[in-house]
């Protein structure tokens, strides 16, 4: 065998070994969502489909969740690497000792709304008078609802209220047993449209001075100590995924539906993705990249949780106890 031939074979062998080592060296990461897949989650599927996570040497496994509380518990226990969960829910758990922290906040303007079919012409708070509102006792929206009433001058006896779980609440509006429900603009509003093909008009809490951060990326605090570089790489890919989904929501929805065909109806899921992208910018940092949350926004969220969300003032701590921007690009 001549010298050039030996060099070529050695180079090929080295390339094979290097490539194998790179593949084996990928960080296997579980991202546990807050709920069954729907339009809010589409950016992660776009990032996976376009190779944004692969480019950061991350082997991403996206798993559906069963509520933010369960997701927070899984991250705290180390059974999920990252969680996509309601940040106020995480803050309540952290105040009680759960070793979790938010490393990026996706929804920086609250999606909370009171909503009904547009045909009923309920477009502003005073239109709620005399109507029936469906709520789920104990959920985050029902806890903030009294503040919305206070801000808008409504009283509890201005309307009727019925209670039920998430599906019962939807059914009540669909079947005409309630005029409105408390829901998220990119979740319950889309489900109502899918079920009835009727247009839904939300009255957004944030438009009346009631704003809290919502969904974000959370990790176990120990992960920041043991694998800080992996956290940074994951967040680089996630930031890019959210940015590109805001620019091309149709591509994000197509990636989601290809990965999970039962996760939505394309037309309304696309509306949901566009509504989600509108929430990426916060009131005190509108020009920042996605996931980078403003200090004022987090402070106000914490104060709302203390005043109206059942968070014990004595254990509340400071806003910076619950989040960090230090690992974001």
Per residue in 57-98, pLDDT (tens digit) is: 999 999 999 989 999 999 999 999 999 999 999 999 999 999
The CA-based angle 277-111-314, given to 5 degrees, is: 120
Indicate the pairing of strand 132-135 with strand 112-117.
unpaired
End-to-end CA distance of the chain: 50
The backbone torsions φ and ψ at residue 99, rounded to the nearest 5 degrees and listed phi first, read -80, 60
CA distance 197 to 251: 23
The domain that holds 275 is classified in CATH as 3.40.190.10
Domain range for 228 is 8-109+213-321
CA distance 312 to 119: 42
Half-sphere exposure of 235 (CA within 13 A, CB side): 26
Residues 104 and 117 in one domain: no
Buried b / exposed e over 185-216, threshold 16 CB at 10 Å, is bbbbbbbbbeeeeeebbbbbbbebebbbbbbb
pLDDT tens digits, residue range 308-319? 888 888 888 899
Residues 202 and 222 in one domain: no
Residues 36 and 58 in one domain: yes
The 160-163 sheet, strands edge to edge: 160-163, 132-135, 180-184, 112-117, 200-204
Res 225: pLDDT: 97
Residues 6 or more apart from 240 whose CB is under 8 A from it?
47, 52
Res 189: pLDDT: 95
Instruction: Give the Cβ contact number of residue 13 at 10 Å.
Output: 10
Residue 77 Cα to chain centre, angstroms: 20
pLDDT tens digits, residue range 220-257? 999 999 999 999 999 999 999 999 999 999 999 999 99
In DSSP terms, 161 is beta-bridged to 133
Of 151, 174, 208, which one is at a domain's C-terminal end? Answer: 208
Residues 217 and 262 in one domain: yes
Res 24: pLDDT: 54
Of 154, 179, 208, which one is at a domain's C-terminal end? Answer: 208
Res 288: pLDDT: 94
Number of domain units in the chain: 2
Residues 317 and 219 in one domain: yes
Residues 14 and 143 in one domain: no
Q: For 54-59, which contacts have Cβ atoms below 8 Å and span 24 or more sequence positions?
A: 54/26, 55/237, 56/233, 56/234, 56/236, 56/237, 57/22, 57/25, 57/26, 57/27, 57/233, 58/26, 58/27, 58/29, 58/230, 58/233, 58/234, 58/237, 59/26, 59/27, 59/28, 59/29
pLDDT tens digits, residue range 148-193? 999 999 999 999 999 999 899 999 999 999 999 999 999 999 999 9
Residues 6 or more apart from 252 whose CB is under 8 A from it?
42, 43, 45, 46, 244, 245, 273
Q: What is the mean pLDDT of residues 125-147?
A: 92
The C-alpha torsion from 152 through 155 and 160 to 165, rounded to 10°, is: 70
Q: Is residue 303 part of a domain?
A: yes
Residues 221 and 203 in one domain: no
Residue 183 Cα to chain centre, angstroms: 14
């Amino acid at each position: 065998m001549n010298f050039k031939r030996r060099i070529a074979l050695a180079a090929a062998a080295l390339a094979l070994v290097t490539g194998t080592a790179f593949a084996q060296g990928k960080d296997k990461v579980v991202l546990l969502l807050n709920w069954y897949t729907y339009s809010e989650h589409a950016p992660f599927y776009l990032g996976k489909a376009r190779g944004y996570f692969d480019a950061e040497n991350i082997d991403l496994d996206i798993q559906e969740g069963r509520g933010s509380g369960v997701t927070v518990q899984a991250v705290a226990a180390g059974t999920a690497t990252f969680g996509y969960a309601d940040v106020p829910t995480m803050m309540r758990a952290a105040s009680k000792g759960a070793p979790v922290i938010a490393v990026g906040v996706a929804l920086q303007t609250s999606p909370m709304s009171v909503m009904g079919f547009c045909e009923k012409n309920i477009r502003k708070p005073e239109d709620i008078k005399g109507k029936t509102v469906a709520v789920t006792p104990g959920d985050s929206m029902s806890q903030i609802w009294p503040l919305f009433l206070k801000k808008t001058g409504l009283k509890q006896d201005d309307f009727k209220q019925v209670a039920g779980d998430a599906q019962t609440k939807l059914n009540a509006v669909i079947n005409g047993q309630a005029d409105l429900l408390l829901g998220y603009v990119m979740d319950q509003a889309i489900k109502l449209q899918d079920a009835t093909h009727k247009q839904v008009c939300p009255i957004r809490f944030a438009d009346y001075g009631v704003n809290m951060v919502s969904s974000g990326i959370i990790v176990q605090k120990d992960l920041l100590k043991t694998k800080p570089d992996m956290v940074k790489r994951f967040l680089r890919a996630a930031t890019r995924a959210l940015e590109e989904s805001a620019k091309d929501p149709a591509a994000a929805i197509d990636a989601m539906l290809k990965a999970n065909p039962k996760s939505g109806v394309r037309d309304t899921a696309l509306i949901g993705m566009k509504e989600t992208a509108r929430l990426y910018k916060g009131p005190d940092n509108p020009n920042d990249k996605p996931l980078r949350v403003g200090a004022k926004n987090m402070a106000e969220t914490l104060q709302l949780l203390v005043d109206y969300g059942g968070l014990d003032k004595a254990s509340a701590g400071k806003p910076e106890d619950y989040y960090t921007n230090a690992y974001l690009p």
